[in-house]
């Protein structure tokens, strides 16, 4: 793989990671099937050999088995890679939120064991817990940082006020939220406050849960165990209407001798130098394709074309079903 993977710093922190990371959730969780463990260890290690230094997991993925997979795969590379994981759910079966300080500290201990690590590089609150003041959450992570069990504090899908309040107690290194050509809401209020406070942005679903790769068409059907079967904007009628996004990416990709996925990732990388997308995959050729986005350079005219065209395309359907679509506004 003839790609030089640049590094990026997450905000004003000293946390430096590869410009594209690897989201590991789908290897164990969310898509209806659990991928072969040995194949996934091979893929994760291939990512490291290719220059990826940033890996994303969470205790709730599985639960637990994704952290175990990532921990085993990355054991030979300790000190050379950054592993991010998350707390904030009750994993006893209720799927309720739980960010009580005593729970956060228990999760940290358990995650360290599963990751086979002495310290958690980046510890995110997975979702804002309305029952626990964010100051208490930030304070619990601050304690873990003082104890040497965590290096950096992160938030996921948090709104502006939560970010500000948390940052005032313990500096937030990164916010992880959905961001792509297909979901640009963070541009309105989130990205300006991250820039102001010096917080990095880790973009999940940078390829729209696979949609922006161009591999879905109007006949695409999802397994009932695949979470995308519940995503409104991927329902058959909405998916058909949303293909205009893929048509636009295809036009640019053809000119650039690239793929739609590479153009979508290249666009994201140009938005801010402290934004790091973490596309997930279970396939080696997709890993190579995603990293190839680093070789796709979009001119200012091409960026203008993408922005103008996409702003004129109406997105059909919410990004999640039910109340979770509103989480980012908290």
Q: What is the CATH number of the domain that holds 20?
A: 3.20.20.100
Q: What is the 3-state secondary structure (H, E, C) of the chain?
A: CCCCCCEEECCCCCCEEECCCEECHHHCCCECCCCCHHHHHHHHHHHHHCCCCEEECCCCCCCCHHHHHHHHHHHHHCCCCEEEEEECECCCCCCCECCCHHHHHHHHHHHHHHHCCCCEEEEEECCCCCCCCHHHHHHHHHHHHHCCCEEEEEEECCCHHHHHHHHHHCCEEEEEEECECCECHHHCCHHHHHHHHCCEEEEECCCCCCHHHCCCCCCCCCCCCEHHHHCHHHCHHHHHHHHHHHHHHHHHHHHHCCCHHHHHHHHHHHHCCCEEECCECCCHHHHHHHHHHHHCCCCHHHHHHHHHHHHCCCCCCCCCCHHHHHHHHC
The residue-averaged pLDDT of 251-268 equals: 98
Q: What is the pLDDT of residues 99-120, one digit of tens each?
A: 999 999 999 999 999 999 999 9
Look at residue 328 in the predicted model and tell me its pLDDT: 38
Query: How sure is the predictor about 315, in pLDDT bands with cuts at 50, 70 and 90?
Result: very high
- Mean pLDDT value of segment 276-299: 98
CA 211, CA 297: separation in Å to the nearest integer?
22
Q: Is the pLDDT of residue 329 over 60?
A: no
Burial class (CB in 10 A: 0-12, 13-18, 19+), 204: buried
- Given 61, 124, 179, 320, the catalytic residue: 61
- Tell me phi and psi for residue 91, to 5 degrees: -95, 15
In a domain, 304, yes or no: yes
Band (322; pLDDT cuts 50, 70, 90): low
Q: Which domain holds residue 320?
A: 7-329
pLDDT level of residue 321 (50, 70, 90 thresholds): confident
Task: Tell me what the mean pLDDT of segment 75-96 comes to.
Answer: 92
**SS3 call for 277:** strand
Mean pLDDT for the stretch of residues 48-77: 97
Q: Determine the straight-line distance between the first and last CA of the chain, rounded to whole angstroms.
A: 41
Residue 2 within a domain: no
In a domain, 1, yes or no: no
Active site residue 31: no
Look at residue 25 and tell me whether its pLDDT is greater than 70.
yes
Q: pLDDT > 90: what percent of the chain?
A: 92
CB atoms near residue 8 (< 10 Å): 21
Average pLDDT for the chain: 95
Q: What per-residue confidence (pLDDT) applies to 215?
A: 94
pLDDT at 327: 41
Q: Hey, what are 87's tokens?
A: 């707390």
> Does position 44 have pLDDT exceeding 50, yes or no?
yes
pTM here is: 0.96
The pLDDT, as a whole number, for residue 95 is 67
Q: Residue 15: inside a domain, yes or no? A: yes
Query: Residues 165, 196: contact at Cβ < 8 Å?
Result: no
Q: For position 1, what pLDDT does the model report?
A: 53
Q: Is residue 79 part of a domain?
A: yes
How confident is the model over 48-60, as pLDDT tens digits?
Answer: 999 999 999 999 9
| Structural domain contains residue 88 | yes
The per-residue pLDDT for 255 is 97
Domains: count for the chain: 1
């Amino acid at each position: 793989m003839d790609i030089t993977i640049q590094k990026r710093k997450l905000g004003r922190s000293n946390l430096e990671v590869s410009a594209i990371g690897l989201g590991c959730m789908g290897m164990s969780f969310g898509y209806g099937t659990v991928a072969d463990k040995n194949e996934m260890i091979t893929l994760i290690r291939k990512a490291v050999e290719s220059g990826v230094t940033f890996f994303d997991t969470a205790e709730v993925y599985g639960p637990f088995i994704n952290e175990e997979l990532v921990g085993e795969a990355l054991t030979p590379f300790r000190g050379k890679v950054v592993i991010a994981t998350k707390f904030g759910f009750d994993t006893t079966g209720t799927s309720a939120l739980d960010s009580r300080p005593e729970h956060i500290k228990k999760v940290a201990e358990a995650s360290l064991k599963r990751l086979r690590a002495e310290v958690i590089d980046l510890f995110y609150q997975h979702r804002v817990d309305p029952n626990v003041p964010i100051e208490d959450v930030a304070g619990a992570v601050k304690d873990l940082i003082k104890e040497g069990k965590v290096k950096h504090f992160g938030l996921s899908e948090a709104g502006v006020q939560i970010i500000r309040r948390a940052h005032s107690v313990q500096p937030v290194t990164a916010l992880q939220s959905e961001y792509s050509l297909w979901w640009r809401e963070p541009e309105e209020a989130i990205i300006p406050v991250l820039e102001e406070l010096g917080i990095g942005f880790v973009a999940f679903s940078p390829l729209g849960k696979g949609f922006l790769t161009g591999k879905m068409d109007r006949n695409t059907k999802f397994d009932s165990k695949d979470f995308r079967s519940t995503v409104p904007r991927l329902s058959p009628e909405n998916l058909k209407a949303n293909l205009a996004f893929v048509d636009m990416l295809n036009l640019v990709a053809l000119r650039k001798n690239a793929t739609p996925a590479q153009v979508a990732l290249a666009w994201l990388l140009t938005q801010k130098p402290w934004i790091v997308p973490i596309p997930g995959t279970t396939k080696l050729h997709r890993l190579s394709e995603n990293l190839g986005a680093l070789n796709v350079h979009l001119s200012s005219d091409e960026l203008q074309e993408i922005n103008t065209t996409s702003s004129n395309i109406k997105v059909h359907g919410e990004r999640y079903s039910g109340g979770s679509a509103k989480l980012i506004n908290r």
